[in-house]
Amino acid sequence: MERGRITCTEDGSQMRKRSIQFSKQESNPHGNISRDSSIMQIRDEDEEAEKETTDVEKFQIGHSLGEDENELEGTMSADLKGINSKVFLSYIKWAGIPLSIAVVLSLTLLQAGNNCADFWLSVWTNSSQEALPDIDEYSMSFYLAVYGGIIAAVIVFTSFRAVTFAYAGIRASIHAHRSLLETTLLAQMSFFETVSTGQILNRFSGDMSTIDDGLPFMLNIFLASLGRLLGSIVLICVVLPLLLLLFVPMMFVYWSIQHTYRRAARDLKRISSVASSPVYSWLVETITGLSCIRGMGKDVLFRNEFLRRLGDRIRSDVAICLASAWLTLRLQLLGQSVVASILLVSLLGEAFHWWSSQLSILALAITYAVNIAGQMSGCLTSGLETETRFIALERAPLNPGQVMHLRKDLKKQLRSRIEADDVRAYEVDVNCADYGKVEFEDVSVEYPKYLKKQLLASLQDEFLALDGISFALDAGQNIGIVGRTGSGKSSLLKALLRLIPHLSGPEPTLQKARVRNFKGVSGTVSTVLI
């Protein structure tokens, strides 16, 4: 501002960079520049920054959870390659390995029971056609009893599979939410500086809703479709092995279609998930500053901005629907072609006596072969939808490479620090502030790595927020910290409260106590920042 008027506007990163450059100009008496040229330079840099910032870069910055700028860019580029296998392994581990084995075993037994029931009906029908007119009642009871036993076993396997799958899904959801919650609560302050409120709300609402409901639902459909497909292929291989020559090129075509669709569907789902965070953030900011917005008469501006962000979110959903329609059309065309080919091969086989099996069993195999096109389409569709649902689990914290701090890592760091100090842990006296002493010894605080290129691109040496700070405060002493914007007042307070890490050197200590139960001096130090 100048004489009560706003001459230029900057965001926080540009303001911090400007303050550092201003300090360099103060230290250089011959480096003064005029006010007008400074203002024009600021405006030119703002315009260049706006031109260089694209929507993709916004998505990259908004999506990442890392500390490093390379991690911000690498997270999105790694996502475009595919879902990491650790995501699937983590879900299996959270669901429970015994429960996962029980689900697969019950699914196998269920599909085997269904195939046995259909096969037994074919045998029963064939025996009835070949039997003599004076067939006794014992044969009818025998076939009926066997069929009833198979159906009873199928009912038991179905119930067991439903119970185990539901319990496994609940366990996985509980562990996913617990991991996400603990990671968020144990994160350092820099985590909340790089991750917006909308992103956190998106993970706890949209992503967790998908993990709780959408993922188990689609996974259940996919496993059932996969079981029916494998059961049909096994039965066809036993009865009509000649049809396998037709299935080989058909599977290649299906694989080509799913390979093309999978890459687009994964990326579109990620874009849709990332596009939700700006909507949540803008909603929270609007509600928080509603009185100021109405007082300044900017309600139309905020409403238009919200509609613009919501439009970006809706466009991503429309793109997902279009990709799904593309897949459905090709699967239907391919399915009709497969059915026509199977019927043609079946008629030729009957005409030229290629089949040696009984007529009822041949009819069963042909029925399975006709349905296999729809089963492959259903298995492919449900499998792709399940993979897109796993993106929600991929965005949630799964391993130390995707989160900043986990409870296990914090315990290891704390244990190694205590062993290195070689001091006996003891409780800090609650009245230590009456006779205590706050001492800093050569403490340096570095700017976050992801901000180095953005804020300090033109600087070579000045990259520390605090550089070798040393001072001591006696008990009851009052001090005032005065400095310009960006001089390190907030960084000093954060280092004192142990909210941010610092470089090598003694830690800020209270009465030189490096102990396990010392969490900082929060509540014992009053600060005034100017």
Q: Could you say which of 58, 79, 100 is where a domain stops?
A: 79
CATH number at residue 151: 1.20.1560.10
Name the residue with higher pLDDT: 518 or 271. Answer: 271
Q: Let me know if residue 528 belongs to a domain.
A: no
Give the whole-angstrom CA distance, residue 193 versus residue 499. 12
Min mean pLDDT across 95-104, 162-171, 369-378 is at 369-378
Same domain, 39 and 152: no
Same domain, 107 and 26: no
472 SS3 class:
strand
- Complete edge-to-edge strand list for the sheet that includes strand 438-446: 464-473, 438-446, 509-510
Q: Judge whether 100 and 168 are in contact, CB under 8 Å.
A: yes
Tally of domains within the chain:
3
Name the residue with higher pLDDT: 276 or 476. Answer: 276
Same domain, 204 and 340: yes
Long-range CB contacts (within 8 A, 24+) of 404-410 = 404/65, 404/66, 404/67, 404/183, 404/187, 404/188, 404/190, 404/191, 405/183, 405/186, 405/187, 405/188, 406/179, 406/182, 406/183, 406/186, 407/182, 407/186, 410/186
Name the residue with higher pLDDT: 323 or 242. Answer: 323
| Residue 27 scores a pLDDT above 50 | no
Q: Let me know if residue 182 belongs to a domain.
A: yes
| Residue 162 scores a pLDDT above 80 | yes
Question: At CA 371, angle to CA 368 and CA 374, rounded to 5?
Answer: 150
Q: Let me know if residue 515 belongs to a domain.
A: no
Range of the structural domain that residue 312 is part of: 85-395
483 SS3 class:
coil
Same domain, 305 and 355: yes
Q: Let me know if residue 406 belongs to a domain.
A: no
Q: Let me know if residue 516 belongs to a domain.
A: no
Same domain, 38 and 121: no
What integer pLDDT is reported at residue 81 of this predicted model?
55
For the segment 418-477, what is each residue's pLDDT rounded down to a tens digit?
555 444 444 556 665 566 677 777 777 777 665 555 554 444 445 677 777 888 877 777
| Residue 6 scores a pLDDT above 60 | no
Same domain, 147 and 66: no
Same domain, 74 and 133: no
Calculate mean pLDDT across residues 234-262: 79
Calculate mean pLDDT across residues 490-496: 79
What integer pLDDT is reported at residue 129 of this predicted model?
53
Give the whole-angstrom CA distance, residue 428 versus residue 512. 11
Beta bridge partners of 5: 2
Q: Judge whether 108 and 231 are in contact, CB under 8 Å.
A: no
User: Which of the 8 DSSP states describes residue 211?
Assistant: I
Q: Let me know if residue 261 belongs to a domain.
A: yes
Same domain, 64 and 96: no
For the segment 221-230, what is each residue's pLDDT rounded down to a tens digit?
999 888 888 8
Q: Judge whether 336 and 376 are in contact, CB under 8 Å.
A: no
Q: Judge whether 86 and 69 are in contact, CB under 8 Å.
A: no
Give the whole-angstrom CA distance, residue 143 versus residue 120. 8
Q: Let me know if residue 335 belongs to a domain.
A: yes
Same domain, 72 and 90: no
Same domain, 279 and 303: yes
Same domain, 233 and 267: yes
Q: Judge whether 150 and 120 are in contact, CB under 8 Å.
A: yes
Same domain, 226 and 122: yes
